[in-house]
Amino acid sequence: MAHVRESIPQPTQGTAQGGVRPQGGGLAGAGLPGRIHLLGAGGAGLSGAGRVLAALGHRITGHDREASPFAAALSEAGVRIGFGPSAAERLPEDAELVVRSAAVSAEDPQVVEACDRGIEVIKYAQLVGRMCPAGRTLAVAGTHGKTTTSWMLHGALANVGGPAAGALVGGLHRDHGVNAVVPDPGGWFAVEACEYDRSFLQLAPTGAIVTNLEADHLDCYGSFAELERAFCRFVNSVDPQGLVVLGADVPDSLAEASRAPVLRMGIELHADLVGESRGVFRFGLRGPGWATPPVQLSAPGRFNVDNAALAVALAVGLARVAPASAARGVSEYPGAARRFEPWGEPGGVPIVHDYAHHPTELRVTLETALRAFPRRELHVLFQPHQASRTARCMDGFVEALRGMHRVVVADVYGARKHIDRMEGADAETLVTRLRRAGVDAVVGGAPREAAMELCAGLTKRSAAFVLGAGDIDQVEGDLTDAVALRFAEGR
């Protein structure tokens, strides 16, 4: 089999379809060839990069195993995407560069075909590193909260004046329905910096946020110590003339690793809560020599106070946005798709979806649910993500789900199966552990069957939460229709 060449390549010249040279605009996209093929094009990150590159004039094609909302949004932007099993003949004849997501293995038929043809193959993280503008990239990293904080940072930069800011985020903006925005030339670029596969080490940002740090992605790191070392390397990559903003729970080692000035929540930065209504908070933020007026958030959750505070701090401290303008920008942010996302109230039963797939994320999401729906029974449909994470975090999942009225556990979602080779656990094991803890839990099976099982246990007093980072979001239509029908019939 051909060897996959995935070193960080030097920029090459290329032309877009019709002989038009791609225009870089506010990004470094002009240094990439004109015809780029994306494998895993429907993924959260790669679809956004494809949207940006298409807007810059590159001819983008793609492939994915199945359709997704991200793929649909990319298709609407004019990108041709093929679906189904990968095959060598699906690689376009004129492709000049192939980019694969972390979910696509080096043995993928199109990757092998590209290597046989002498076409360069790189990972998504390497593509982002080449796209990001020097001196204007602001990267948001951390175990939890990256997507929300990235969009909040983009919102905080909206009123900076001058060139408009851009963004590349691993989640759709709930109002705008996109996961990427092309910046104006000279504009700031907010990027979600994922730690998986050490992707964020491809970046050289001017400013950075680290929201928090917990043991996760140990399938590729092996230990928390190695994960922490990678975050230290990420922080160390920030321009010494830039700024690093750290959440309250980030280890001191990251502050020590930074060559840039550091602002830390609880030390240089202080968020003062001034109000709350049904899980939505109001707060003020104080930093070195500045303070915001009260910030009324739109997105629920105490954790969003921290996300918003970090975004405001970087916008004010590095981009020189006025504190009141940055506060207004984050207050207007409605939330990302798949983050406490309302699916409606069919039959009078609220249904909410959240991407939560780590015990901490489950815990804070369900704490917010209890605040938002204080007089309802909480029914949860949870799709675990990765068999190895399910095994490693078993105790945390049980603790996070304890106290729920009923829990339906869908089959474990197994993206990146070619990488996730650690010992794993299945839905049956999690349900057994939940029952031992006194939780009314049941195995749901495949996503649609699990959704029907959730529906069957609902009453007029219920609120339903669908949690998970896999394909569980695809049950939205089936679930809401089933709940509406159930209560229309007076059950």
Distance CA 124, CA 196 (A): 11
pLDDT at 221: 81
Architecture of domain 17-129: 3-Layer(aba) Sandwich (3.40)
pTM over cut 0.75: yes
List, by residue range, all CATH 3.90.190.20 domains of the chain: 341-488
Tokens coding 208? 């950075």
- What secondary structure letter does DSSP report for 173? B
Helix axes 359-372, 394-401, angle to 10 degrees: 0
Strand order in 59-64's β-sheet? 80-83, 59-64, 35-39, 97-100, 120-123
Q: Which residues of 357-383 are buried (b: 16+ CB within 10 A; e: fewer)?
A: bbbbbbbbbbebbebbbeebbbbbbbb
pLDDT at 330: 95
Residue range 196-212: mean pLDDT, rounded:
92
Distance CA 415, CA 419 (A): 9
Q: Average pLDDT of the chain? A: 88
DSSP 399-410: HHHTT-SEEEEE
Which tens digit of pLDDT belongs to each residue from 283-334?
A: 999 999 999 999 999 888 888 999 999 999 999 999 999 999 999 999 988 8
CATH superfamily assigned to domain 341-488? Mur ligase, C-terminal domain (3.90.190.20)
Among 49, 45, 58, 147, CA closest to 104: 45
Distance CA 141, CA 324 (A): 25
Distance CA 311, CA 29 (A): 26
Tokens coding 348? 């009078």
Which tens digit of pLDDT belongs to each residue from 38-48?
A: 999 998 889 99
List, by residue range, all CATH 3.40.50.720 domains of the chain: 17-129
Distance CA 391, CA 433 (A): 11
CB burial class (10 A; 0-12, 13-18, 19+) of residue 15? middle
pLDDT at 197: 80
Which tens digit of pLDDT belongs to each residue from 50-83?
A: 999 998 889 999 999 988 878 888 888 889 999 9
Which tens digit of pLDDT belongs to each residue from 412-463?
A: 997 555 444 556 789 999 999 999 999 999 999 999 999 999 999 999 999 9
pLDDT at 343: 95
Which tens digit of pLDDT belongs to each residue from 228-239?
A: 999 999 999 999
pLDDT at 277: 87
Dmax of the chain from CA atoms? 66
CATH code of the domain made up of 132-331: 3.40.1190.10
List, by residue range, all CATH 3.40.1190.10 domains of the chain: 132-331
Q: Which residues pair with 63 in a beta bridge?
A: 39, 82
pLDDT at 12: 30
